[in-house]
Amino acid sequence: MSGVPATLGTAFAVFAGTNVDDVVILTVLFLSARARGRPRPWQIVTGQYAGIAALVAVSGVAALGLAVVPDQWVGLLGLVPLALGVRGLVAAARSSGGDDDPAPAVATGVLSVAGVTVANGADNVSVYTPLFRSIGPAASLLTIAVFAVLVAVWCAVASWLGSHKKIIEFAERFGHWLVPIVFVAIGALIVLDSGVIGRLTDFL
């Protein structure tokens, strides 16, 4: 049993270290939910769980020695939030151009939230894979359980951060610009930091 506290501590540190930026994304999504009605809170939570589950599953498979996605191309997943953000900016521009209908939310359902979670956490696989490979099946299951609990904690913190009246009022006024800008920035950072553009240039 002496290994259990160490496993719990490692799982907490790994999850916190690889998912700090998810708090920002979740907060923006909860703000959008309160200010514009979409995505709904349950869709945000479900999408976050689905995205983290996908990352864990890919890491588990990779830990068994199977390459699911070549590491050098993982950065292409950043195109998901980038595309969603650009679409949101286009919709916001059209709305500001005289259309009375509000611009649609950038992420509107479980799949889009999960997609952004996977894209933003694509580099997590490079951390989770060696961890699962080194700690064995039992500790891996305990680690996954800790991750599941922490996803709920992350969602609760983000929901609380996005519940303040002044922040919601700000989101109601500028959220149709703020949310897609955040998504574009996140997507661009994922793509640029991964170095995938240089690899594509060399490939072409």
Please compute, for residue 173, the number of CA atoms within 13 A of its CA located in the half-sphere on the CB side: 5
Q: How far apart are CA 149 and CA 127, in angstroms?
A: 19
Please name which of 182, 151, 152 lies closest in space to residue 28, comparing C-alpha atoms.
182
pLDDT tens, position by position, 162-200: 777 676 666 666 656 776 787 788 678 767 776 767 766
pLDDT tens, position by position, 41-78: 999 999 999 999 999 998 888 777 655 555 566 666 67
Q: How many domains is the chain built from? A: 1
End-to-end CA distance of the chain: 54
* Residue scoring higher pLDDT (68 or 157): 157
Helix (H/G/I), strand (E/B), else coil: 66 = coil
- Which pLDDT value is given to residue 118? 86
pLDDT tens, position by position, 28-37: 888 888 877 7
For the chain, give the percent of residues with pLDDT over 70.
74
- Which pLDDT value is given to residue 102? 46
Low-confidence winner among 5-14, 43-52, 96-105, 182-191 (lowest mean pLDDT)? 96-105
Range of the domain at 146: 3-203
Q: How far apart are CA 183 and CA 84, in angstroms?
A: 7
pLDDT tens, position by position, 117-130: 888 777 777 778 87
